[in-house]
Amino acid sequence: MVENKLYKGDHRQGEIEILQECPVYENRFATLYDDKVKFPSGAEGKYLRFTWNAPYGVFVFATDTAGRPLLLRNFRHETRSWGWEIPKGFGIEGLTPEECAAKELREETGFTGTNWRLIKSIHDKNLQTHTFAVTLETPAGETEREAEEAIEQVRFFDKDDLETLIYGDQVSDPMTLFFLQRCLSALS
Higher pLDDT: 7 or 138? It is: 7
Cα(104)–Cα(10) distance, rounded to whole angstroms? 40
Looking at residue 2, its pLDDT comes to 45
pLDDT at 147 over 80: no
Q: Residue 1's pLDDT band (boundaries 50, 70, 90)?
A: very low
Higher pLDDT: 4 or 187? It is: 187
Q: Residue 188's pLDDT band (boundaries 50, 70, 90)?
A: confident
- The answer to which of 1-10, 48-57, 144-153 has the lowest mean pLDDT is 1-10
Looking at residue 143, its pLDDT comes to 64
Looking at residue 28, its pLDDT comes to 86
Average pLDDT, the chain: 90
pLDDT tens-place string over residues 88-106 = 999 999 999 999 999 999 9
Looking at residue 87, its pLDDT comes to 95
Q: How many CB atoms lie within 10 A of CB 183?
A: 20
Cα(130)–Cα(100) distance, rounded to whole angstroms? 10
Looking at residue 150, its pLDDT comes to 87
Mean pLDDT over 34-57 rounds to 94
88-90, strands of its sheet edge to edge = 88-90, 57-63, 127-139, 111-124
Pairing of strands 57-63, 127-139: parallel
Cα(135)–Cα(51) distance, rounded to whole angstroms? 32
pLDDT at 3 over 70: no
Looking at residue 185, its pLDDT comes to 87
- The answer to which of 22-36, 92-106, 129-143 has the lowest mean pLDDT is 129-143
pLDDT at 10 over 90: yes
pTM to 2 decimals? 0.81
| Pair 71, 157: CB distance under 8 Å | yes
